[in-house]
Structure 1
């Protein structure tokens, strides 16, 4: 890592030194040359706005201008031109896109004047060995320069350790267009003069804008197709968890996120919520994606009901993201899910490389459409749950009963869905009943049930299994992820003040976690193994613990 930093620093220093040397050696004091250089930079900045990204290679017409300046004025002015353009791009990225200013950013910008210097020097040296007529020599020189320039760019990208994604057809097209237009500009300037060159620059700007519009239309077509896929998935699937999973899967085809999560919550009743569905890279756990509803800083932005885009979450004062999540994202998008004009959920998207580039396009409108579809899905799901509630609810706690537990688990097993079960038992509950009476015990149980419902996701199923035992079905969570959720509940109960009939009672719980299909292939075995680990690893070893079943 240290060697890589030394290499990048060397490239940056060399690029700056070469650019300064080129500035001293070039005839930039001439008014005509200065005027031309300013106009060329202006044209390049406009065309840069309409950049079309293809992998790591940028397809635009700025290379044409660089090549033309090289043919017309030599390598020194070409290096100065490239350095000034890249410095202005760096300025725009730092102050407009709010990118971090560091060695990596400098390296990514200053490799271009370095590549121009190397390409210009080598192509001039190679061409000097061939005794060619003027026209053939110019075409040959332009071809060698552009070939070397593209290859040096690729080399610098590879030396940086980045994965190179190249569209060979587009790369070849980029190469041919740059050579043809660069040579054409050169000969127009020789035959017609500067007015002809200025006219060609205007044509290049127009072509850049046409390609930009074409790309936007292509992007909108992709969005429309994927919105239709999302709509089909929301209609096709009945379970809200499956709807959300498919939603994120289809959304990734539109927006290349690195982290994504969907939340549903009751703003007036919930404190901290976990996502119903989520996608995160290896090394990022579900507990890093919790959303603080009650005291959170970010929720204030979401409450406004408008899509909010944070281009740089480290610098954005309106949102607060902490923990290891910061290592995985640079840009974040917050899409509120409104039901009957009330905030009921959130679609969160985060990215580090590709997502910030995509924000050049207008994505708020398609995201707004998708949020409305998600709102309808949640509304229908809530309506469905209300219809079934009376026959599936435990009268005391308001949790689901064992009938619902059996139904949900068997459905998940039949569909071969990954899920986990967490079973909790209140420690020393018999002593609480004996000391304070059964009425106090019932109230403790009801408070415990309310807390668990608030701490799990809206799609998780919380059931009263019997007595003081509660079972949670954690759909889509592995054993490791379910353990994090269970441990979070245990800590919350331990720290919570249970005050019942003026009695302050300390409550702790113990829990056991099993997973399908890892630990068992039927409901009874899953429950038995979770119950077994609860008593052997938690109750028997001091209580107030959560343990997972180990095969």
Structure 2
């Protein structure tokens, strides 16, 4: 309440019409008023109550009374016919003598004194400083209203005072109610923010933020626009598209990181766009559109507070997710590495790697390719597509060719729509999503991992990064197994001839005797080999030995085992082969050695066999019988085959 209004009833001295008005005693009242609008309301309500009181005291009065403002503008109209009826000021024209009373009101306002004419009268009311505050005009149906005013006008200041006090109490009550509402809203907002900060799950943060906004503004249209993909959670979550001209307000709020308001021409707020901001940047925008109730400044502040809390909670949730993901990835890498290192067999490593990759990425297909012996080809070492295993693929074709050429992992979101690379693997499987990574060993690309799924956009960037990480322990395991296999090959292989060693042959013969029903052994000896070394030198002797070993290896099956038994003697074990078949193999070796070696040499062979029905079966006995047969061939003239 800012100013004070002092009211003094106008002095009606002097002639003002047909009836001389007896002036009431001068008096003033103080009326607190905050604005011209509230002052008029006090005058209007006090006028109505004063009229009702006067009519109750003097029920015989008939006529009408009008309250006008300081500029003689009508404020209220009361028609008295037994009981007062309130009408709008605009309806004054329906009354008789309306213009006459309005003229008197204007005259009283100009002259600053009461005026009357016939059945009409107008009395100005002015403040303590002499300025006009209001004018009361009247028209009486039963004569001049002067007596009515003399009796009742002195009570008007009392009604004005009472009305001013009543309105001040109402204003105070409204202010207290408003402050209580603000306190309650702040408490609600505090609990909402506290609830958001207590959440660590991203989906629950989004759900809670939208729920709180909808609780505060049930009549508003609420949308949450995110700058990154989120799972579908049954909430009004939409992607934030920077090219969408219909969301210019949201886009600007996101870029400027401040709340923006959509104001109408009348200045009211009908739209609010509040960015969700964390310490690392903005993540989305809370967008509200008013339907029935427009937004107040307090509403906008509440939306801003919730959006800031949601942004921080969302960021914390994402960081928590990422930390969990990193922990799970480290645990997965550790477990995978441990399992891979438990085996040094390449086949087992490849099988386990494919099974784990299919499980980890929930993929439909997985394929691991390795550099083949030919530089321009890759070998499909293992795949869950049986027909692909063992296939050779051109090194410069398909996605594997891109990976080897760029030495970088790749991701394909939709092969059928976007890919510029032709892939037989993707076409044969009908897959649309793919991630691929190179396998490194000692800084060189030695293979490629391909993982595919039928659905488009199936693999995420996190999957892409995880595969890049997992390819390292897989490559390390392959390298270790390959080195182990190479060392083992060197241990069981004769360096000069490339045949197996005698120890390995002994082990394999013993193993076969434990598991098979029969088998044969051929012992081959180069005739007069000492004479060749003595006459031509040991280098020529080694050359002859290599030639004979090569011929021997080409005359037997892959399942047969050829070994250097000692010096110039070779031994070949033939599983599941009878002595007659072994004789044929020995003859094939003898004939080709005689025909193909340079310098030409001959060989003698001793053949023996064993059967599960024999009384005594042992490795030593089998070798002894073959050795005896070889000596028999030597004594018979060499370059021939004997059995023992």
Under TM normalisation by the shorter chain, which class is it?
A: 0.3 to 0.5
Q: Which has the higher strand share?
A: 2
Q: Give 1 or 2 for the bigger CA radius of gyration.
A: 2
Q: Which has the higher helix share?
A: 1
TM-score of the aligned structures, taking structure 2 as reference length: 0.34
TM-score of the aligned structures, taking structure 1 as reference length: 0.38
